[in-house]
A and B are shown apart, each in its own frame.
Chain A
Amino acid sequence: QKEVEQDPGPLSVPEGAIVSLNCTYSNSAFQYFMWYRQYSRKGPELLMYTYSSGNKEDGRFTAQVDKSSKYISLFIRDSQPSDSATYLCAMKGGTASKLTFGTGTRLQVTL
């Protein structure tokens, strides 16, 4: 079983929709939770970074972490065609070096 599970999609939504992306994990030691956006042929770009449980908002993006359920979410409001990309969740323990990634969810926002 993978440490981090993420639905690969693809997920197709109309412009203006609210998008919900999710990951579950099994390792209780994870304390830092990140969402990366990756466009085709580019490297992952950090979108949101959260420590421990709670919510964090940045513009149209909201990240939620529920450590009791081992479940993290990324919400995108008023989605735009430019949001079309692969969204990767990643997490790490407090002193660990490495990030553990989900497989990524491919999102397509249509006009």
Chain B
Amino acid sequence: EAGVTQFPSHSVIEKGQTVTLRCDPISGHDNLYWYRRVMGKEIKFLLHFVKESKQDESGMPNNRFLAERTGGTYSTLKVQPAELEDSGVYFCASSQDRTGGGYTFGSGTRLTVV
């Protein structure tokens, strides 16, 4: 079974530019999550999709972040315009069952805004 795939693995952009991160969940997993780890801090929740619907987006930091999951398959997370404080590692995870624990994480996208 293929795992959760994220790309790019690393992105360096200038402040003010736009970046789009992509996540391909495990096939058949209706639940897809985005998390972020800023340097020196813990991994924090951004949002949760169930199929194509946003179930919980309470962790999205501001309206410069836009997440989509068209057709309930892969998801994109767009940052526009990027700011220096957006630098960090963005993780995607998926699961079949959201009520239990144990999500499968991707390797992350390391975003550096300069």
What is the interface of chain A, defined by CB distance below 8 A to chain B? 2, 4, 32-34, 36, 41-46, 49-51, 88, 90, 92, 94-95, 97-104
CB-based A-B contact count at 8 angstroms = 63
A97 touches B42 (CB 8 A): no
**Contacts A44-B91, A97-B33 known; A92 to B101 CB distance under 8 Å?**
yes
Q: How far is the CA of A73 from the CA of B60 in the complex (A)?
A: 30
Contacts of B106 in A (CB 8 A): 43
Please tell me the size bucket of the interface on B. Answer: 20 to 34
Given A51-B101, A97-B33, also A43-B91 (CB < 8 A):
yes
Question: What 1/0 mask marks residues of chain B from 47 to 59 whose CB sits below 8 Å from any chain A CB?
Answer: 0100000011011
Binding site for A on B (CB under 8 A): 4, 31, 33, 35, 41-45, 48, 55-56, 58-59, 91, 93, 98-108
Q: Which residues of B contact A46 (CB under 8 A)?
A: 102-104
Is A103 within 8 A of B45, CB to CB?
no
Question: Is the Cβ of A95 less than 8 Å from the Cβ of B99?
Answer: yes
Chain A minimum-CB-distance residue to B43: A101
Give 17 A-B contacts (CB < 8 Å), ordered by A residue. Answer: A33-B101, A34-B102, A36-B105, A42-B107, A42-B108, A43-B4, A44-B43, A46-B103, A51-B101, A95-B99, A97-B31, A98-B48, A98-B56, A98-B59, A99-B45, A101-B43, A101-B44
From B43, B44, B56, B107, give the contact of A97 (CB < 8 A). Answer: B56
